[in-house]
Amino acid sequence: MYHDFNYEATLASSLKAQWELDDVLLDGQPLDFSRNMMPESLARTAELDMLNPFEQRTLNQISAHQYLSIFGIVEEFILPFLIDHARPHLLGDDWRVRAILNFASEEAKHIHLFKRFHTAFVRGFPVECRVIGPSEAIGAEVLAHDPLAVGLVILMIEWMTQQHYLGSIHDDGELDPLFKSLMRHHWMEEAQHAKLDTLIVDALATGRSEEQIDRAMDEFFAIGGFLDEGLKTQAGFNLDALERAIGRQVENRDAVLNQQHQAGRWTYIGSGMVHERFQDTLQSMSRSAADRIAEAAPVFA
Ligand SMILES: [Fe+2]
Ligand SMILES: [Fe+2]
């Protein structure tokens, strides 16, 4: 076995790591708009020298708005996936049922937390930032795929939040402490979710032939391509918001658009693809699945 995760131990560590919304952000608490909110390793706004420092920070904050929105969207399809996965086994292993329902409940709490941050953002930011969606349509498109493909996407997303947390640590002192706290608290619970996702993916892959796994990987890439298109559209919305906020057009708009799309690719796809634990799961499932992801990863770097 390539890991020692199990439902009983993961439930126990989940219950120990749990926090409340108010531990992270109080209802009505303001964010600090004099600082960056996203780690530079994710937002990649400091390298845009056609923008002055104030404009770079404004785009960094728009990138934080994107983060709240995109995580809101993905958590909204993780929740029904978990419920669907738990339902046929409600009378089975008690640890498993409780661990997965607790996982679902934490994900519902994350949706709530991201909304609370989003409300605080909208209250403090001068212009409206548009978001792709509606989230129900995005979720329906993702969930229409093979559950193994969806499970792998979710596993990748949960592991990537570790990379996001580490990025926020490296930006120490620069970032709005509330956003740092968001990254830390989210990862604390996602670390447990990723273990459960690993068990879920193992179960969904068991008994599948190499060819069946390969077809699920095709669907994984179809979901990835769909999300990537959304990220490209979102990068355009972000630049629209930046231009409204700074009252001028951005020079070399196409180059900035591509650069910001690439930052989104790394944040929401690539940083999970290269996670060691995600690769371990792929390797244990199928060598060729792992090779396919390794081949695609540089596109999302
Ligand atoms: Fe979450
Ligand atoms: Fe999660």
> How far apart (Å, rounded) are the C-alpha atoms in residues 291 and 159?
19
Instruction: Provide block-wise average pLDDT over 10 residues at a time, the chain (301 residues).
Output: 96 96 98 97 96 98 98 96 92 95 97 98 98 98 98 98 92 90 97 98 97 98 98 98 98 98 98 97 97 98 97
Q: How far is the CA of 193 from the centre of ligand 2 (A)?
A: 5
> How far apart (Å, rounded) are the C-alpha atoms in residues 124 and 193?
32
Q: How far is the CA of 71 from the centre of ligand 1 (A)?
A: 7
Q: Is 107 exposed, middle or buried (0-12, 13-18, 19+ CB in 10 A)?
A: buried
Dihedral sign, CA of 110, 113, 119, 120? negative
Q: How far is the CA of 186 from the centre of ligand 1 (A)?
A: 6
Q: How far is the CA of 52 from the centre of ligand 2 (A)?
A: 36
Q: How far is the CA of 164 from the centre of ligand 2 (A)?
A: 13
Q: How far is the CA of 173 from the centre of ligand 2 (A)?
A: 27
Q: How far is the CA of 38 from the centre of ligand 1 (A)?
A: 17
Q: How far is CA 157 from CA 91, 153, 267, 277, in A?
A: 29, 6, 10, 12
From the CA of 81, the nearest ligand is 2
Q: How far is the CA of 180 from the centre of ligand 2 (A)?
A: 17
From the CA of 196, the nearest ligand is 2
CA dihedral 289, 291, 292, 293 (to 10 degrees): 90
Tell me the pLDDT tens digit for each residue of 145-183.
999 999 999 999 999 999 999 988 888 778 999 999 999
Tell me the pLDDT tens digit for each residue of 101-136.
999 999 999 999 999 999 999 999 999 999 999 999
Residues, the chain: 301
Q: How far is the CA of 248 from the centre of ligand 2 (A)?
A: 39
Phi–psi pair at 241, nearest 5 degrees: -65, -40
Q: How far is the CA of 174 from the centre of ligand 1 (A)?
A: 24
